[in-house]
Amino acid sequence: MKHYDYIIVGSGIAGLYIALLAIKQGSTLILTKGSIDDCNTKYAQGGIAVAIGKNDSPELHFKDTMAAGDGLCDAETVRILTDEAADCIADLIKFGVPFDTLDGEITLTREAAHSVSRVMHAGGDATGEHIEVTLSRQVRSAPINVLENCLAHEILTQNGRVLGVRALDCHTGSIEEYHCQFLILATGGAGKLFKYTTNSDVVTGDGIALAFEAGAEISDMEFFQFHPTVLRLPGVAPFLISEAVRGEGGILRNVEGQRFMPDYIAEAELAPRDIVARSIVREMQKTHSDRVFLDVTHLPPRLITTRFPHIYRFCLEHGLDITKGLIPVAPAAHYLMGGVKVNSWGETNISGLFAAGETACTGVHGANRLASNSLLESIVFGKRVVQRTEVAASPESNQPTVVSCLYSLPKREQSQLVGTVPPLNLPNLQSLMWDKVGIIRSGEALKEASDILATWQSLLPQPSDRSSNELNNLVLCARLTTEAALLREESRGAHFRTDFPKASPEWQRHIVFRKNDST
């Protein structure tokens, strides 16, 4: 057993950035189940939003974020996000992140639902990769302990306070305990719940499941963002086509070559992601196709090759020159707005336990994340986690601006479905979630998914290795997502139900789960 001041679980932007700040305060350990570079951050193409443009302001960024969140953003945390953004961006620049510039000034682009161009980028469309490489290089050269291939599988607590974490060595199978004063979960979201996703294979809801089992509160799990434009080519893994492509003038066309987004909403291709994704699904249904097309052939080829070099090269390697031909795309699971419920300092309801990045639910995204706010959230609230640990502080007293309602998961009982449900494996879980708990939902489909998931969970054996731990975590996250979607009898943001197609004032509140003994 070893003791550290800080233990950070996860090695994406949130975990690495927190570690670089925390090491100035005390001994720091990063636990990551793969290599330090296995994370979602490096797949973030678009960039990071910050109000530094001439026609921009934190106030305008605040308004755009609140509007995208569809009534469920926490105004206090959104204000923190937009006001503290520039200082945190300055940290990234000091660490060496090479943001793109023109004539000595940082270049900015526009993405959907932003009023102005405010998205910084690096390497054109390789922002996440540049941030990840830069921060991981800094971590490797700092006096930070890093344990790779080490899977955290249980949070240790005593009398309501965190003690540390029990972890599995994925190579040897041995179990070790690591104790700490502060434990920070930064494991990312749960995109591997779905058949089609932009997420890395490591994104299996680990931090959310760990926190729930330890007694932490989990909020807003029904709000899963599906990115509208993901490359759809036979035999090619889902590959993100950045929203910035539409920001630069890309047009969506159906398989018949017709532009269709203006038929759905005035903002057309620059509407919020949830609207664009559902519009694409409806258009695919109308045309009996599994894809639509993103057209950039009317844009200058030099703009495409210099602004989106990564996308251009990837498509070219698979036989598609996007400066001359249409890009086949369809929606895919992309980002979880919900997660471990935290206050504006990243604190959970368990003393000493924090969460940051996509693992956390800070309230800034509400029902629908504004594009390029995710990387920003990771650093703004990651920094606040460390600031909170520097001095002993009483629990935060500020009241959230949106009411939360606490629920327990239904008891995991074997239903009469036993014997008729498909066997539990990752492909079957992903297909169930895509078909029944995906972009467009219904009460009937959600109930069917709920029964199957409860049955699967009741039959789960004790996990013994990385893959079985990940499957257990995904099943738990699937249940949290499905039960929240079943409870929310309305449509709001990324959550859309055909049996309740309108938003309801009654549901302008957060759904929060906490474990009880019978769950």
Q: How far apart are CA 220 and CA 339, in angstroms?
A: 7
Kindly tell me the burial class for residue 400, based on how many C-beta atoms sit within 10 Å of its own C-beta (0-12, 13-18, 19 or more): middle
Nearest C-alpha neighbor of 53 from the set 85, 27, 91? 85
The torsion angle over the Cα atoms of residues 471, 378, 49 and 82, rounded to 10 degrees, is: 130
Q: How far apart are CA 373 and CA 384, in angstroms?
A: 16
Q: How far is CA 332 from CA 429, 455, 487, in A?
A: 16, 26, 24
Residues 6+ apart with CB under 8 A from 167: 31, 147, 150, 151, 152, 153, 175, 176, 177, 178
Clarify whether 253 is annotated catalytic: no
Number of Cα atoms under 13 Å in the Cβ half of residue 8: 31
Report how far Cα 14 is from the mean position of its chain's Cα atoms. Answer: 12
Q: Which of 79, 232, 273, 291 is catalytic?
A: 273
Q: How far apart are CA 341 and CA 361, in angstroms?
A: 5
Q: Is 353 helix (H, G, I), strand (E, B) or coil?
A: strand
Q: How far apart are CA 423 and CA 314, in angstroms?
A: 36
Q: How far apart are CA 364 and CA 366, in angstroms?
A: 6
Q: Are 354 and 182 in contact (CB under 8 A)?
A: yes
User: What positions carry a catalytic annotation?
Assistant: 273
